Structure 1
């Protein structure tokens, strides 16, 4: 079974870290008409005809040039400009979350490149001053480092987040159930897998157990790795797991969640077909976790 979130993360480009300080090489690649450039206004991109627009260097505006790397025999850059264009036409310039449907249909399979570009753009947008001395930061290494006048260097950060489908009962049996939850701000019927951030000094497996216990009161024993997905919204890596419950009584925290339910496969299928259960979209690892447990595709999505 092919999972769309894994397809979006496939086809990794060569990031060419050793070339980020090589100004002569960077200029040579920039002069190549086959080089492709993504224009980012602040942290937003303007889709054209439902596609992510890559342009030639000659058609790119002035801005910070960010080397993304090489892929499919070409060099790929981003140019990050000020946010003015996106402010003037906000409905036309979309943040990464709004671009996900376009990436799912992208025949260039450029999602890893877009994730790379917007992850850096988001990081630079919120990282303006040195956390050690308070001096302004300036980009270097083709946008992959920020340094202050005192040469304190900052690097892009990625926060590990766990996302999990929790199961109970005999694996594969008709009465096996999976646990889904919903937030109060979501529309009626929308449920998803549980998720949360890994805390300092914590293993990923223990983060799964803690988050499930905190949000639902369910105790999890065995935890198995499923897969991962870049998720720079703004700076996360989603690590998927399958957890086995050793208790089933639910006591939601009413903070992160306002409801959580156990679903059998028959209940999930019937409610998804009726539209009373709305599951996450296919570009999210959450959908992949649910359909992996269910054993096939399900109707309806956010």
Structure 2
């Protein structure tokens, strides 16, 4: 496995069993396990270091099962059970940091629904990929219940991997939005930014959505220029990461800046700055007086940490 694939949510090796999506008669013969999801939160085991899969079609009266893949000859499904009345609902739901846990009497003892961004670094690669897949595809179903072409309500097909429209015959499939995230350097310094609404001191790599007809390299140069006024020359691909919050694929790239004056667009970004390698070392050591490291588990953290250690390639 390439070093780049060790990023969180990468390299899990999930057998997505596309063949079973097309052959429900075979799928029906396999033992079943279910990963319940509540408002995008996967069910975690009592130790909070792995997912808690339940035997059979658990909570069969709630949500639609979506096939995640084949695990040891069992078919593993995700099921959105957000209508379940749970205990532990807190004001932090949906916040930048949500450490609340939700439970229910029908769940295995000690298990709870936990925010994936809080748990992702505790999960083995396989469980992380399983959870990311579940969150991404269930969120797509939640927001795409009607045909974008004619407005008719769509029906689930292919074990949860498409929605069919009876009105115009269109077939709709889960979408992934490509996003570039940039490690922009100039000599011994790296360019970081902070979005409006982030906690004080939280900085990360610049990022932005790719546009139709645009290459990754062009998107990197455009986004950096739009947000900070910095021009980027050579661009190289580094690594990718599925980021199911709600449904992006992050393309990590290294961009070499050919200018250094920062002029931010306040509608795009709250602040941007150049940080030396030595200052970044202080950030990761937790000794910098102002700046906090990027969220652990996110590709920005991966890129910055490996740039600091000179292990990007």
TM-score, length of structure 1 as denominator length: 0.85
Q: Structure 2 vs 1, CA of residues 270 and 23 (structure 1 numbering), >3 Å: closer, same or farther?
A: closer
Query: Displacement, 1:107?
Result: 4.5
Q: Structure 2 vs 1, CA of residues 188 and 108 (structure 1 numbering), >3 Å: closer, same or farther?
A: closer
Matched residue of 2:222: which SS?
A: helix
Query: Displacement, 1:230?
Result: 0.5
Deviations 1:136-182 (A, max 9, x none): 1110100001011132111111000000110112xxxxxx1111011
Aligned length: 285
Deviations 1:53-89 (A, max 9, x none): 21111645334222111245543222234x2116775
Query: Displacement, 1:104?
Result: 1.9
Which residue, out of 172, 181, 189, partners 1:177? 189
- Rounded to whole Å, the distance in 1 between the matches of 2:213 and 2:114 is 30
Query: Displacement, 1:206?
Result: 0.4
Matched residue of 2:147: which SS?
A: coil
Residue 40 of structure 1 corresponds to 37
- Rounded to whole Å, the distance in 1 between the matches of 2:213 and 2:85 is 39
Query: Does the CA contact (< 8 Å) of 2:153 and 2:165 recur in 1?
Result: yes
Deviations 1:233-267 (A, max 9, x none): 11100010010001011101111212111111112
Which residue, out of 224, 227, 232, partners 1:220? 232
Question: In the alignment, does 2:243 pair up with 1:231?
Answer: yes
Matched residue of 1:45: which SS?
A: strand
Residue 300 of structure 1 corresponds to none
Question: In the alignment, does 2:19 pair up with 1:18?
Answer: yes
Q: Structure 2 vs 1, CA of residues 58 and 46 (structure 1 numbering), >3 Å: closer, same or farther?
A: closer
Query: Does the CA contact (< 8 Å) of 2:203 and 2:293 recur in 1?
Result: yes
- Stretch moving more, 218-227 or 284-293: 284-293
- Rounded to whole Å, the distance in 1 between the matches of 2:33 and 2:289 is 42
Residue 149 of structure 1 corresponds to 166
Residue 52 of structure 2 corresponds to 53
Residue 115 of structure 1 corresponds to 132
TM-score, length of structure 2 as denominator length: 0.83
Query: Does the CA contact (< 8 Å) of 1:190 and 1:279 recur in 2?
Result: yes
Residue 287 of structure 1 corresponds to 301
- Stretch moving more, 53-62 or 197-206: 53-62
- Rounded to whole Å, the distance in 2 between the matches of 1:233 and 1:270 is 29
Unaligned segments of structure 1, at least 5 residues = 170-175, 298-302
Residue 80 of structure 2 corresponds to 80
Unaligned segments of structure 2, at least 5 residues = 91-100, 104-112
- Rounded to whole Å, the distance in 2 between the matches of 1:59 and 1:108 is 24
Query: Displacement, 1:121?
Result: 0.6
Question: In the alignment, does 2:185 pair up with 1:167?
Answer: yes
- Rounded to whole Å, the distance in 2 between the matches of 1:178 and 1:157 is 32
Q: Structure 2 vs 1, CA of residues 250 and 11 (structure 1 numbering), >3 Å: closer, same or farther?
A: same
- Rounded to whole Å, the distance in 2 between the matches of 1:144 and 1:204 is 27
- Rounded to whole Å, the distance in 2 between the matches of 1:26 and 1:146 is 19
- Stretch moving more, 209-218 or 281-290: 281-290
Residue 173 of structure 1 corresponds to none
Query: Displacement, 1:4?
Result: 9.1
Query: Displacement, 1:231?
Result: 0.6
Residue 99 of structure 1 corresponds to 116
